[in-house]
């Protein structure tokens, strides 16, 4: 399958929490991270990387080292720049990994949040253009989108907490931010947290140190006093963190508005008892349901035109337009990655197409690959994908998910790749 993602960054690190931290930082900066934890998985991922990609590798990871990955790249003819993650600023180690055409740069693990994006930006090739969308919603004319705009306005006029439901890639965070922007709290702080990311992971095992977890979550409320907290992918919040959040909201009554995003698995978790119903009802004082792109195909020409306008501005080129054949092909595609996938598809087509028009022949779509490993659910791709995500939610780690699914970690990596499931348990293009 040809990748439609541009500015890919391959992360090779055995630390699950740092996977999530780095992935979150890169996504916010417009990059498409792929996270693996061992050498064999890295060798499988490298050939799939597009031009302009960068590799971020720990000095040591499962069954390999950054130096071994660099040496393998050389032997196979790959020239993706490798940035090494060092645990300690040891001059001997740094010189070793950077000599003789090795790593192009290093970042310190304790300073990932400060050094990662800045360092990656140095080595991304200019041929890969990133469209970084702002907090505004992409304008479009469909009746369903007007309903969403009206819901945003109604909810913004209140102080009610809100859950925004929808598939990955539909701009749920942008909707959450619009509620904040249009609300009376717009002059107060806003904080965005990834429920499954490092922001809510303490320095120690939460099971043995509930106080640390409480202090960490409480600090977000203190910093956002009078403002808004957006929690992305609330369905990834484990039961222990749910309990802490419930205590803060129900017992301490902070002056903070909660806006959460979630996919469809949240309702099933609620029914199965995996998500606390008392917390759910506090968070869902209001809600917005965002249909997937395949149910809003009338919006595709407007979204594509908007993206092409931005591309033209960024590249100082004339704006390209879609031919009728391209519009038809775009409307027929199922869009498992939704607007995020559409953005990547349009961007790639604009980059590679000749002339000032884009035809159907210029479009490269993601494809569902046939089953290759253990058959989890009788070869039902959607059921297989859903089961993988649920296992990850229950276990909290990909290693634990592999155990629940009774497959090897290598097999699970292959299955995640097949279903476009990222390190945070989200579906991507």
Residue ending a domain, choose from 291, 319, 348? 291
298/263 same-domain check: no
Q: Does residue 314 belong to any structural domain of this protein? A: yes
116/41 same-domain check: yes
117/191 same-domain check: no
Cα dist from 199 to 32, 193, 203, whole Å: 20, 6, 11
Q: Does residue 303 belong to any structural domain of this protein? A: yes
pLDDT (0 to 100) of residue 369: 35
Position 198 confidence tier, pLDDT thresholds 50, 70, 90: low
Q: List, for residues 264-298, the tens digit of each pLDDT value.
A: 889 989 988 999 999 999 999 999 999 999 999 99
Number of neighbours of residue 111 by Cβ within 10 angstroms: 10
Residue 424 has pLDDT above 60, yes or no: yes
Q: Does residue 150 belong to any structural domain of this protein? A: yes
CATH number for the domain spanning 326: value is: 1.10.8.60
Q: Does residue 337 belong to any structural domain of this protein? A: yes
1/101 same-domain check: yes
pLDDT (0 to 100) of residue 317: 83
What is the four-CA torsion angle of 323, 329, 332, 333, rounded to 10 degrees?
Answer: -120
Residue ending a domain, choose from 291, 311, 339? 291
Residues 271 and 148: beta-carbon distance below 8 Å = no
Higher pLDDT, 106 or 288: 288
Number of domains the chain is built from:
3
Residues 41 and 69: beta-carbon distance below 8 Å = no
Q: List, for residues 18-44, the tens digit of each pLDDT value.
A: 888 898 888 777 777 888 989 988 998
60/169 same-domain check: no
286/159 same-domain check: yes
What's the chain's average pLDDT?
Answer: 83
Residue 213 has pLDDT above 90, yes or no: no
CATH number for the domain spanning 51: value is: 3.40.50.2300
Q: List, for residues 331-386, the tens digit of each pLDDT value.
A: 988 888 889 889 888 988 887 788 899 999 888 776 433 333 333 333 456 777 87
Q: Does residue 220 belong to any structural domain of this protein? A: yes
Q: Does residue 377 belong to any structural domain of this protein? A: no
Dig out the tokens for 197 from the structure. Answer: 């990311």
Position 203 confidence tier, pLDDT thresholds 50, 70, 90: very low
CATH number for the domain spanning 198: value is: 3.40.50.300
Q: How far apart are CA 101 and CA 172, in angstroms?
A: 43
The average pLDDT across 212-236 equals 90
Residue 196 has pLDDT above 80, yes or no: no
pLDDT (0 to 100) of residue 1: 28
286/302 same-domain check: no
Q: List, for residues 122-161, the tens digit of each pLDDT value.
A: 887 644 445 556 677 888 989 999 999 999 999 999 999 9
The average pLDDT across 64-78 equals 86
pLDDT (0 to 100) of residue 305: 94
Q: Does residue 420 belong to any structural domain of this protein? A: no
The average pLDDT across 385-402 equals 78
Q: How far apart are CA 242 and CA 280, in angstroms?
A: 9
158/279 same-domain check: yes
Side-chain half-sphere CA neighbours of 260 within 13 A:
23
324/357 same-domain check: yes
From 53-67, 91-105, 136-150, 376-390, the region with the lowest mean pLDDT: 376-390
310/265 same-domain check: no
346/308 same-domain check: yes
Position 191 confidence tier, pLDDT thresholds 50, 70, 90: very high
DSSP 248-309: IIIII--S-EEEEEE-THHHHHHHHTSS-HHHHHHH-SEEEE---GGG-GGGHHHHHHHHHH
pLDDT (0 to 100) of residue 371: 30
181/69 same-domain check: no
Query: What are the phi and psi torsion angles at 322 (to 5°)?
Result: -90, 130
Query: What are the phi and psi torsion angles at 125 (to 5°)?
Result: -75, 145
Higher pLDDT, 208 or 343: 343
Q: List, for residues 38-47, the tens digit of each pLDDT value.
A: 998 899 888 8
pTM attached to this predicted model: 0.58
Q: What is the domain extent for residue 287?
A: 143-291
Q: Does residue 247 belong to any structural domain of this protein? A: yes
Q: How far apart are CA 201 and CA 208, in angstroms?
A: 13
How much of the chain, in percent, has pLDDT values that exceed 90? Answer: 36
pLDDT (0 to 100) of residue 162: 98
Residue ending a domain, choose from 339, 362, 385? 362
Q: List, for residues 156-166, the tens digit of each pLDDT value.
A: 999 999 999 99
């Amino acid at each position: 399958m040809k990748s439609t993602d541009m500015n890919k960054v391959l992360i090779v690190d055995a630390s699950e929490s740092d996977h999530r931290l780095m992935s979150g930082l890169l996504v916010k900066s417009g990059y498409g991270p792929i996270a693996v934890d061992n050498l064999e998985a890295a060798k499988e991922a490298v050939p799939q990387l597009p031009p302009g990609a960068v590799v971020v590798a720990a000095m040591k990871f499962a069954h390999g080292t950054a130096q071994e990955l660099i040496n393998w790249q050389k032997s196979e003819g790959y020239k993706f720049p490798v940035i090494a993650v060092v645990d300690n600023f040891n001059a001997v180690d740094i010189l070793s990994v950077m000599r003789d055409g090795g790593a192009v740069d290093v970042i310190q693990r304790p300073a990932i949040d400060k050094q990662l994006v800045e360092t990656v930006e140095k080595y991304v090739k200019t041929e890969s253009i990133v469209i970084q969308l702002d907090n505004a919603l992409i304008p479009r004319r469909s009746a369903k989108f007007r309903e969403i705009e009206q819901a945003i306005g109604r909810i913004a006029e209140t102080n009610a907490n809100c859950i925004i439901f929808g598939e990955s890639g539909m701009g749920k965070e942008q909707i959450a931010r619009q509620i904040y922007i249009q609300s009376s709290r717009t002059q107060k702080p806003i904080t965005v947290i990834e429920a499954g990311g490092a922001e809510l992971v303490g320095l120690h095992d939460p099971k043995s140190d509930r106080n640390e977890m409480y202090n960490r979550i409480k600090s977000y409320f203190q910093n956002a006093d009078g403002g808004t907290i957006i929690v992305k992918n609330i369905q990834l919040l484990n039961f222990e963190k749910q309990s802490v959040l419930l205590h803060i909201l129900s017992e301490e009554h902070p002056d903070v508005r909660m806006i959460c995003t979630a996919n469809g698995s949240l309702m099933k978790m609620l029914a199965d008892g995996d998500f606390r119903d008392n917390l759910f009802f506090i968070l869902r004082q209001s809600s917005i349901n965002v249909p997937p792109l395949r149910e809003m195909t009338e919006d595709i020409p407007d979204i594509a035109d908007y993206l092409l306008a931005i591309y033209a501005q960024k590249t100082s080129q004339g704006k390209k337009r879609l031919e009728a054949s391209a519009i038809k092909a775009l409307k027929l595609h199922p869009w498992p990655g939704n607007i995020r996938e559409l953005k990547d598809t349009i961007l790639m087509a604009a980059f590679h197409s000749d002339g000032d028009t884009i035809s159907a022949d210029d479009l490269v779509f993601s494809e569902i690959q046939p089953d290759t490993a253990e058959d989890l659910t009788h070869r039902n791709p959607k059921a297989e994908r859903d089961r993988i995500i649920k296992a990850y939610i229950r276990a909290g780690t990909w290693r634990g998910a592999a155990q629940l699914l009774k497959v090897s970690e290598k097999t699970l990596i292959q299955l995640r790749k097949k279903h476009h499931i990222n390190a945070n348990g989200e579906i991507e293009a």
